[in-house]
Structure 1
Amino acid sequence: MLGENQPDVSEPSASPEATAQAVPDQRAAAEPPPARPVSAPPAAPVSGAPVSAVPVSAVPVSAAPVSAVPVSALPVSAAPVSAAPAGSSAALDAEPPAANAAEPVSAPPAAPVPAPPAPSVPGPAASPVSAPPAASVSAPPAGPVSAPPAGPVSAPPDRPVSAPPAAFVSAPPAEQVSAPPAASVSAPPAASVSAPPAEQVSAPPAASVSAPPAGPVSAPPAGPGRVEQGDPEQVLAAYRWQLDPATLREIVEEPDELRTVRRRLTEKLGTAVDNRARARLLSLRAVVSRILGELDDALADARLALTYAEATGELRRIALAQARLAHVLRWRGEFTEADQLFARATSPELPDRLRAALHEHAGRSCFDQGRYMEACQHFEQALDLRGSGDPDLLARVRLALDAVAERVATAGFGPYPRSRDEVLERIQPPVPVRDGGLWGYTDPDGDLVVPARYADAQPFAEGLAWVRRPQTERWSLIALTGTTVIEPSFLAVRAFSEGLAWVVRDGAEGWLAIDPTGNVVIPPGFADVRPFRRGVAAVRREGWGAVDRTGRIVVPTRYHSFRTPLADGRHVDGFTDEGLAVVELAGRHGVVDHTGAMLVPPVHPTLVIHPVAFLVGTGAGRWGALDRRGNPLIDPVHRSAEDLLEEIERLLTDANPVL
């Protein structure tokens, strides 16, 4: 398993600091140095403006003697959170990132060192309250915890704390989180939560408090308390796994902690109210059960999670559920279905980080089967996508290649790599070939299987191909064997897609859609059409719009174009795999989805679909980004789309997909 978190993919994520210090696939243990306690005479109450989603007034606290208080994160809800406002550097991956998990660390007693009194700062009227020195303050430390410096002391990110409170205080995670497309925003009951501001807000005391240099503090190992108190999704995302160099499977060091995580996931499932949450929680529970070796439970959860994910229609959520199910099947030795799921999950419209994880795990499946050349191909593709910017991935692939080399030395490289069609067990159809002045079809071995007797021929699609005989101007339909399915009937034809084909019987009536038997499904009346994708097709009457498979207009036919540019430079006629399309009206561009919902009004001179955002260009040549709901995400200040892509990649560095 990858220390995923790719990912409303909603996926928990581990912090970049933790990732940077952890040995790949091995749980990082923070060893903060101890701090010498500092005592200070009582000071006037200081109030700090909290920066959490739900405003909380800080109680004035007199500066009581302070030990190096343990700092642990109480993770917030794992439900998707809306993206930060314009200009924020919120992370853009789909699944919620995890807070950095660190156990409370208490410093040994030391002689108090006097500090100068702090000048009073006005605050709300309240009697000063002494904070017990042993109380722990919740905040997500990014790594080793050091004692207060000699200068002003800042509170943990996102929530200022004046002094250790008498009870646990929850704080939002330090990492920014972006919402998945169309994901609902969940929050504590009766309150909606918006993303925290981009910049961190610190609440130092009114005057600086001097302290002696901090000494080393050793943190105790993570125990059940962290798992019991923490959010299960974020705790799971914070794990760093050690791989068995012989099997490339995760090594379980503390199974009891994982069982606690699974129990907490089950508790959250009891309150999950939508398909998105159920898909996420069930698939994460499948991950835990798989690692614990309880493969029957893992398989049941993973299959049900995929059902819920497919009901959402969200590409990344479906890809994650497919990958987690594939991983369970791999451990069960059911490699055919596992490889097919990995192949179907991979899409160029997914974020590079998730695509790299999919190739890495597909490579491990090939490794288990003795397909070492194919495994190396997958590992190479993972490195091509993320190798230069992901040292953890680089280390895991290096370990995997060492395991491949050891196996190859004794067993050889195994079978030649399979094509995607071979993995998916698709029947490779005959291909058109010209013989003299006529067209026929040959099989993959080059043998002529359909005689050359046609004046024109189109490639096979969904087992059917359009052909035209020399003696007629009308097209007929044939099957793979060359038998005629529909007699010559149509003046113009388009290939079958999702069981429907656009054809023209009479130039005056326009395009209509038929099924493979020739029955009319969508009546004529369109001047131009595009293939069906995800149940909808772009069509043109007086303008461009879209229809569903019944012919119902889902996007009004009023736009001047319906062509969708992607961030990798490709263009799609109509809708993407994610069900999004860029529409243009009077030179301005917007975005609609396959249900007809207008996500971005057509007001932007330039608009490009990115796996986690919408890139928008201004008339002045500046580039910014919108989230999947069309809200501002990055201000249009970048001089080029390439600069904007680098900024988005930087914001994504704290999210890894949990597979």
Structure 2
Amino acid sequence: MVDVAADLRAALPRALGPIDVQTLSEQVNDPGFVAAVRDEATTRLATAVGDADRSRLLGVRSVAHRMLKDLSAAETDAATSLRHADTAGTDLLLSPARARLANSLRMRGDYVEADRLFALAEAGELPRRLIGRVRVGAALSCIAQRRLTEALLHLERAMEHTSDPATTDHMAPALELVYRLAAEGFGPQPRGWAERARYPAPRRFQDPRSGKWGFLDHERRPAIPPTFTEAGDFRGGIAAVRERAWGAIDTEGQLTVPFLYDGLSTPLPDGRAVVGFVDGVAVVDRRGAKGLVNRGGKLILPPHYRDIVVHPAGYAVDNGAATWGARDHSGEELIPPRFDRDEVLRRLDTRIEADEGPL
């Protein structure tokens, strides 16, 4: 699938200058060019249908509005982009959409919600360079709040995750500003991820008497009673749990995937297997055959595969004849089933549509 906004995202940095240390926003060298990108995004939105396309185009237009100092329009577009990304459900859409809304809120002074969204934008199976760019935005939010130690930690993580020139260009003025402000103190103690994210999900615990699993809230009180024989951690607002069979619950303890499956463990390309959901989907096992289910319990792929690997660009599937192929996010054939596993994963790597535009 073609990324309908890729060229627009790539074009925007041409109009940008360095960070303005007074406003902690990008300086714009060519407002007319930014306005042209905004208008082209609007034209394409008129014919865009899918959630992924609309999320990407609204994200571009949000950034253009922000560069042109129309912060109300930037926030509106960023929030709508995030709603479309949430419906599409993939980490590669959710992360930049969250970060763009966070940056709009940061510019309007809503630091609590901005910090929450920056924290959530770090979560998921993401390219390291994207995490680095998210961390720079989180650092700028902390600088505005005079949380300078926390800002330095974000910048350190950003440097560990990326050597992307656009990102490192943002780091230099941020570091300079931190050291200038540090003469007045480094501010409050740094917060952990859960506090920044405002404790988005209960934490798993095992009852020592019954041996069963439940979930605690951030004050270590039972939020979901320990009634499960096995449980995974919450990922994307959903946790895999087992009674007599495996299913899944949301953060309120409501069943979203019925207890139908012998297993609910999701293999990743690097060899790891996650108990539960990755990128909004989970691999389910039923009588030895593998299928794929989404967060709402809908089967994307019926359980008749030997193996499935969840990849950012789609799903590698073993059809049971020693050959692998791939399906796209809607379950349609993407790569015909005539290759080995490594070749299919390599081909999927070339299809990753990473968001390289400004956040």
Q: TM-score, normalised by structure 2?
A: 0.74
Q: Which residue of 2 aligns with 1:489?
A: none
Greater fraction of residues in strand: 2
Determine helix, strand or coil for the equivalent of 2:263: coil
User: How far apart, CA to CA, are the structure 1 residues paired with 2:171 and 2:353?
Assistant: 19
Q: Which residue of 2 aligns with 1:397?
A: 171
Q: Which residue of 1 aligns with 2:146?
A: 370
Q: Which residue of 2 aligns with 1:422?
A: 195
What is the one-letter code of the residue matched to 2:6? P
User: How far apart, CA to CA, are the structure 1 residues paired with 2:249 and 2:185?
Assistant: 53
Q: 2:267 aligns with which of 565, 569, 577?
A: 565
User: How far apart, CA to CA, are the structure 2 residues paired with 1:282 and 1:581?
Assistant: 28
Percent of residue pairs identical: 32
Which whole-Å deviations, capped at 9, do the CAs of 1:612-641 have from their partners, x for residues lacking one?
Answer: 444567999999866434522998468699
Name which one, 1 or 2, has greater alpha-carbon Rg.
Answer: 1
Assess if the C-alpha contact under 8 Å between 1:319 and 1:346 holds in 2.
yes
Assess if the C-alpha contact under 8 Å between 1:235 and 1:261 holds in 2.
no
Q: 2:301 aligns with which of 593, 596, 599?
A: 599
User: How far apart, CA to CA, are the structure 1 residues paired with 2:49 and 2:342?
Assistant: 43
Structure 2 CA distance for partners of 1:341 and 1:502, relative to 1, 3 Å: same
The gaps in structure 1 that reach 5 residues or longer are 1-79, 82-93, 99-232, 433-438, 440-453, 466-479, 481-494, 504-510, 512-527
Assess if the C-alpha contact under 8 Å between 2:325 and 2:334 holds in 1.
no
Assess if the C-alpha contact under 8 Å between 2:119 and 2:193 holds in 1.
yes
Q: Which residue of 2 aligns with 1:254?
A: 30
Assess if the C-alpha contact under 8 Å between 1:564 and 1:608 holds in 2.
yes
Displacement of 1:347 in angstroms is 0.8
Greater fraction of residues in helix: 2
Which whole-Å deviations, capped at 9, do the CAs of 1:370-407 have from their partners, x for residues lacking one?
Answer: 223212211222232333xx344344434543443444
Q: Are 1:461 and 2:202 counterparts?
A: no
Determine helix, strand or coil for the equivalent of 1:382: helix
Displacement of 1:412 in angstroms is 4.3
Question: What is the root-mean-square deviation of aligned Cα atoms in Å?
Answer: 4.6
Q: Which residue of 2 aligns with 1:306?
A: 82
User: How far apart, CA to CA, are the structure 2 residues paired with 1:614 and 1:590?
Assistant: 11
Assess if the C-alpha contact under 8 Å between 1:621 and 1:639 holds in 2.
no
Assess if the C-alpha contact under 8 Å between 1:604 and 1:617 holds in 2.
yes
User: How far apart, CA to CA, are the structure 1 residues paired with 2:194 and 2:254?
Assistant: 30
Determine helix, strand or coil for the equivalent of 2:69: coil
Determine helix, strand or coil for the equivalent of 1:582: strand
User: How far apart, CA to CA, are the structure 1 residues paired with 2:230 and 2:255?
Assistant: 12
Q: TM-score, normalised by structure 1?
A: 0.44
Q: Which residue of 2 aligns with 1:580?
A: 281
Q: Are 1:658 and 2:350 counterparts?
A: no
Which whole-Å deviations, capped at 9, do the CAs of 1:460-517 have from their partners, x for residues lacking one?
Answer: 613687xxxxxxxxxxxxxx5xxxxxxxxxxxxxx645xxx463xxxxxxx7xxxxxx
Which whole-Å deviations, capped at 9, do the CAs of 1:221-253 have from their partners, x for residues lacking one?
Answer: xxxxxxxxxxxx356456363213635521111
Q: Which residue of 1 aligns with 2:94?
A: 318
Q: 2:19 aligns with which of 220, 227, 244?
A: 244
Counterparts of residues 197-596 of structure 1 (less than 5 Å): 233=8, 236-237=11-12, 239=14, 241-244=16-19, 246-247=21-22, 248-387=24-163, 390-408=164-182, 410-426=183-199, 461-462=216-217, 480=221, 496-497=223-224, 501=225, 503=227, 530=231, 534=237, 537=240, 539=242, 557=260, 560-567=262-269, 570-576=272-278, 578-584=279-285, 589-594=290-295, 595-596=297-298
Assess if the C-alpha contact under 8 Å between 2:214 and 2:226 holds in 1.
no
Assess if the C-alpha contact under 8 Å between 1:539 and 1:547 holds in 2.
no
Structure 2 CA distance for partners of 1:459 and 1:314, relative to 1, 3 Å: closer
The gaps in structure 2 that reach 5 residues or longer are none
What is the one-letter code of the residue matched to 2:217? E
Assess if the C-alpha contact under 8 Å between 1:339 and 1:423 holds in 2.
yes
Assess if the C-alpha contact under 8 Å between 2:292 and 2:302 holds in 1.
yes
Structure 2 CA distance for partners of 1:551 and 1:425, relative to 1, 3 Å: closer
What is the number of equivalent residue pairs in this alignment? 349
Displacement of 1:656 in angstroms is 0.9
User: How far apart, CA to CA, are the structure 1 residues paired with 2:255 and 2:217?
Assistant: 21
Q: Which residue of 2 aligns with 1:97?
A: 6
Determine helix, strand or coil for the equivalent of 1:364: helix
